[in-house]
Structure 1
Amino acid sequence: MLSRTKASMKKHACRTMSHGLAEAILLSFPTQAYRQAGNHSRIRMLTHTLGYPRLGAFREIKKACEGYWKGALDEKALRSASLEEKHRRWRAQQEAGMELVACNDFSLYDHVQDMSFMLGAIPERYKPLCQNLSDLDLYFAMCRGYQEAGYDVTAMEMTKWFDTNYHYIVPEFTRNQDFHYYSRKCVEEFLEAVSFGVKKPKAVLVGPISYLLLGKEKTDDFHRLDLIDTLLPVYMAVLEDLHHAGCTWVQFDEPFLVTDLDDRTRKLYAEVYGVLRQHFPDVHFLLAAYFDGFGDNLQTAMSLPVDTLHLDVVNGLYDLPAVFRDVPRDMNISLGVVDGRNIWINDVNESLGILGLAVKALGHDRVMVSSSCSLLHVPYDVRNEPDGGTLPDFLGPWLAFARQKLDEIRLLADLMEDEVSADAFYGLAEHLKQLEKRKHSKFLRNSDVRSALDALSGEPVGRRQSIAERRVLQQEWLQLPVLPTTMIGSLPQTAELRSLRKRYRDGSLSAEDYGSGVRVLITNAVRWQESIGLDVLVHGEFERTDMVEFFGEHLDGVAFTGNGWVQSYGTRAVKPPIIYGDVSRKEPMTVELARFAQGLSERPVKGMLTGPGTILKWSFVRNDQPLSDTAMQVALALREEVMDLELAGIEVIQIDEPGIREGLPLKKADRESYLEWAVRAFLVCSGGVGPATQIHTHMCYADYADILDALIRMDADVLTIETARSDMEVLSGFAAAGYPGQLGPGIYDIHSPRIPSVGELNAQLEKVLSHFAPRQIWVNPDCGLKTREWDEVVPAVENMVTAARKARHQVRKRALEEG
């Protein structure tokens, strides 16, 4: 029974709610109903998370890896830093009361690449390196490329992890692919967890079907799922090794189960997990899918011979009625009721209601509490935000980063117990209080923004002239050569620049001196670009730490953190802004420096903006209104900036939108409604300029085929895309679709330290020109260059410009021969 103190706290918590909300909370508690059913003795409801951030709360692993690459740390020191971070992660989960603690979710670069390495899926071009490099250096060479000691090997392809901003290394498969048990990282990490004192480590593996589907065939004479018979024995060897080491829980991540699957793939899931279960009957299999509900795959998932099925309740609530009705009696369910993708505190009222229904349908002992997905996608800990920092005081209590989400998981499980502690009721009361404060906060709404949004509703947007008409005017105005050269935007963020920025932020450098320092860097960058013959220049974005965070700092309704780091790829981390209220532009954001840069050169210098879709996808967005409304608010703010840039004399304006493909729903049936408002938001911000102003957009690391029609509807004059790592494979799709705009396929992979030769770049251009007429093509790198060093960038970009000149010569020569 509840003690008088607990009952009093329960009553006090409910006083802050409306009557209906309080009643819902009370009804969600199982105490009396379950006692009447005779269920007096139960084990504690199990808690866990699918994974935890791994780059370090203060980017310790980033610094250690980059120190290793530069030779400042040896392998022993890097391994030591890794173990320290794993200890911190396990300790956090233990202290929060997680019964199951994830292991093998840590990675020095990418967890999918870890799987490829473990399974011996090492592409042939790396085999010569095996004789001369350590396993660690071979692993990094596959991720980053290798250009030393006479070797010159390109990196493996990289793309987005489903609909997130995390990038994974794409496995490469051949028809006769060799898989073998190459790396024991999984087992070694399990043993490290045991040694650290984790009572029940849960080994995390990408499941065999999803692993194959994440990869890419290097020839077109087979399908990657054909490799399952070769792959499965290696998975069994790994599981045997884990089992021998004492592992009793294995989490198989199978996120493809929430995508559109054909009957063959569904049947394969049953066959594969049937084999694994037959060989390992004593290992508890937890199968996890996330980012959406199972939908049409739900019956397949529930028929698999696994012990526990994890559901992403945040994004797949619609699955629950069928789960409660049809889940097998010998299957447990793990309910991901705590959002692993966003940073707002949990709606405990809703979560307790869901858990209460689950317990009523299945029984307490068959329900586990978890995050919706891995917590990789959120920052470490709200408590790491400095006092007096950039995060507004009112916002902090509304936020839950990874460490707070562990506490929320524990709190929800504790509130579902018969005997609810005073601490649990205090946690409940505090959550309910903050939810009410946020709901009624004056900081969320701006009447002027809402009026502007209402006025926009139903109005036509976009540019009046056709893309063909605009191209004629722009060419007359800009006078660009065939195959014009440009860069995507950012240039190296050097130690000198970071020091300049740090001194400005800590108050030891005045705003005037900081601005002067940035202008010197811009001046040097423009002079260098002119000297090598680049046609359309960039100012380098030296004033920006990040392409989204910068705009977050200049928009009302947006906040930003001091230490809210989230891994994007490898050692690259970002601090996503927090969109908490209605968005508007405070003042011009980029105009002053764009005007300054353009004044340095007779050549066009691009104005650089981040588009509304990308600002949304790369931010933590408010969850109290439709995404489409927030997108339109951001688009209206950016429209003002675009028009001010045009008035300032900027002739080429780039609105980056790599996030549009990333936001594409995983199920095809849901995509058109999303694309309709995402494209409209782009047209709102780009459509106010005159026909002679050239609008560029940029996208990277995505499957463009899924959105080709939307790209055409976006009506950009020039689209630059990442294509180097995929060896220009995507261009055939653009050609087949009759893409009407100009296209800049990236010929230089900027995410590798390799410096491509003129011959290599020229060969890339030849591939491009086999698909498109020269007048339709721009020459550029894959992406911005902020993560690279100047000693890599200068020769690579100079080689790119030289390759473009050679290609122009070849174009003219062919024209003369044909003329």
Structure 2
Amino acid sequence: MKTLLPTSTAGSLPKPAWLAEPETLWSPWKLHGEELTQGKHDALRLSLQDQQQAGIDIVSDGEQTRQHFVTTFIEHLNGVDFKKRKTVKIRDRYDASVPTVVGPVTRQKSVFVEDAKFLRQQTKQPIKWALPGPMTMIDTLYDDHYKSREKLAWEFAKILNQEAKELEAAGVDIIQFDEPAFNVFFDEVNDWGIATLERAIEGLNCETAVHICYGYGIKANTDWKKTLGSEWRQYEKAFPKLQKSNIDIISLECHNSHVPMDLLELIRGKKVMVGAIDVATDTIETPEEVANTLRKALQFVDADKLYPSTNCGMAPLSHQVARGKLNALSAGADIVRQELASASANSSANSSANSN
């Protein structure tokens, strides 16, 4: 029987201290060679166990086998020189030293498929796998070859589609594309961003999701959020076109953000992964706080289409905090499930009383 309000995480979970520096993005690996391969798989198993113990319904690898949600994918492609670096402003917010596109981008072999197969062997639960979206990939590079953001995005979309098809064949149930850039480059999103995303999902039979958030809880992002005013209406720009797209699930940030909940009306009919856990604070939500976010979302999303989740990845948090947040997410979803079951039972009782 299908779980009502199936819970999941939006992306990364903390890595163990023996694998990489904790609470740090882009943290270098502490192991090498065969030890690193084994260590990544051990970390993936631990991450899965944390999710299962917390009662998370749709599990993931916690991004344990990648240093960063975008660059780890790009590292495996031809046409990108990681030694030739340039400083660019990522998502119009912060400077980062990034690799350079020096020739045609191509993928010689799959990037995550072996890791996905490994995760599939560990559990019978539905699994979700995250890939960077085309627009977010181009925003994490310096392009010295195509000289066109759009052209490069279409090339990446083709490569992502190849990877996604292999992930589906490996048994992945939901493939999620991370597109935080959708909250920044509004004209490009509507001109070609959503179109390139649709190219990335072409021919897939598994469920597809796009995750659009306001970023990890790092200082550059939290500082940016302070400039956005009392209402964050960025979603309003992309939602109408996404509602008409072939993407199955739209994943967004809700808890502790200034996103007006009624914006969800713009994607009515889609499945919605509602971020009910704030990843920019160490404060662990109470189950009731989570339940409250979900109740508000249910005014605009049908219960069978609501997927409680985290706002974004939790790699920069401590293990203890992340585990506490996962537990709160499960417990909060459970409160609302019971409320929905009780309301449904009362409604059935009333209708049968009326028919008598």
What TM-score, normalized to structure 1?
0.38
Map residues 383-402 of structure 1 onto 2, 5 A cutoff. Answer: none
Is the alpha carbon distance of 1:785 and 1:503 closer, same or farther for their aligned partners in structure 2, counting shifts above 3 Å?
closer
1:568 to 1:629, Cα distance in 2 relative to 1, 3 A: closer
Give 1 or 2 for the bigger CA radius of gyration: 1
SS in 1 for 2:343: helix
How much does 1:816 deviate? 1.3
Q: Structure 2 CA distance, aligned partners of 1:586 and 1:484?
A: 35
Aligned counterpart, 1:698: 211
Gaps of 5+ in 2: 22-26, 215-231, 349-356
Secondary structure in structure 1 of the residue aligned to 2:106: strand
* Paired position in structure 1 for 2:219: none
Q: 1:774 aligns with which of 292, 303, 308?
A: 303
2:144 aligned with 1:622, yes or no? yes
Which has more helix, going by share of residues? Answer: 1
- 1:562 Cα offset (Å): 9.1
Task: Name which of 2, 5, 15 aligns with 1:493.
Answer: 15
- Alignment equivalent of 1:722, drawn from 253, 263, 277: 253
Following superposition, the deviation at residue 762 of structure 1 comes to 1.5
CA separation in 1, counterparts of 2:324 and 2:146? 49
Contact 1:639–1:686 (CA<8 Å) still a contact in 2?
Answer: yes
Moved more, 678-687 or 775-784: 678-687
Distance in 2 (alpha carbons) for counterparts of 1:492 and 1:513? 19
CA distance in 1, matches of 2:211, 2:107: 23
Aligned partner of 2:314 in structure 1 is 785
The residue identity in structure 2 corresponding to 1:812 is A
2:71 maps to 549
1:679 corresponds to which of 190, 194, 198: 194
Whether contact under 8 Å (1:617, 1:663) holds in the other structure is no
Q: How many angstroms does 1:640 deviate by?
A: 0.5
Number of aligned residues = 324
Moved over 4 A (4+): 561-569, 571-575
For 2:122 and 2:97, the matched residues in 1 are separated by 32
Distance in structure 1 (CA, Å) of the matches to 2:152 and 2:90: 23
Structure number with the bigger relative contact order (C-alpha 8 A, sep ≥ 6) is 2
Query: Quick check: 2:90–2:140 contact (8 Å CA) kept in 1?
Result: no
The one of 82, 91, 108 equivalent to 1:560 is 82
Alpha-carbon shift at residue 495 of structure 1 (Å): 3.3
- Change in CA separation of 1:738 and 1:631 when aligned onto 2, cut-off 3 Å: closer
For residues 495 and 525 of structure 1, what CA distance do their matches in structure 2 show? Answer: 13
CA displacement at 1:649 relative to structure 2: 1.6
- Is 1:540 the counterpart of 2:62? The answer is yes
For 1:231-380, list aligned pairs within 5 A.
none
Partner of 2:264: 734
Structure with higher strand content? 2
- Specify the alignment match of 1:582 in structure 2: 104
Structure 1 residue runs without a partner (length 5+): 1-478, 666-670
Q: Return closer, same or farther for 1:516/1:773 CA change in 2, 3 Å cut-off.
A: same
Partner of 1:597: 119
In structure 2, do the counterparts of structure 1 residues 572 and 664 end up closer, same or farther at CA, with 3 Å as the change threshold? closer
Post-superposition offset of 1:726:
2.3
CA distance in 2, matches of 1:578, 1:751: 30
* CA distance in 2: counterparts of 1:625 and 1:765, whole angstroms: 43
C-alpha contact (below 8 Å) 1:493/1:787 kept by paired residues: no
- Corresponding residue for 2:344? 815
Pick from 117, 142, 153 the counterpart of residue 631 of structure 1. Answer: 153
Inter-CA distance 624–686: structure 2 relative to 1 (3 Å threshold): closer
Q: Structure 1 pair 528/764, CA: closer, same or farther in 2 (3 Å)?
A: same
Shift of 1:634: 0.6
SS at match of 2:244: helix
Q: Is the 8 A contact 1:538 1:606 kept in 2?
A: yes
SS in 2 for 1:528: helix
Shift of 1:618: 2.6
Contact 1:549 1:575 in 2 (8 A): no
The Cα shift of 1:699 comes to 0.3
Aligned counterpart, 2:278? 749
> For the residues of structure 2 that align with 1:610 and 1:597, how far apart are their CA atoms?
19
CA distance in 1 between counterparts of 2:96 and 2:17 reads: 18
Name the CA shift for 1:709/1:491 in 2 (closer, same or farther; >3 Å).
same
TM-aligned CA distance change 1:581 to 1:662, over 3 Å: farther
The CA distance in 2 between the partners of 1:501 and 1:607, in whole Å, is 22
Partner of 1:763: 292
1:572 deviation in Å?
8.9
User: CA 1:808 to 1:748, structure 2 compared with 1: closer, same or farther past 3 Å?
Assistant: same
Q: CA deviation at 1:502?
A: 3.7
CA distance, structure 1, for counterparts of residue 13 and residue 83 of structure 2: 24
Quote the Cα distance in structure 2 between the aligned partners of 1:575 and 1:794. 32
> Is residue 798 from structure 1 mapped to residue 311 from structure 2 by the alignment?
no
CA distance in structure 1 between the partners assigned to 2:145 and 2:77 by the alignment? 18
Provide the aligned C-alpha RMSD in A. Answer: 2.5
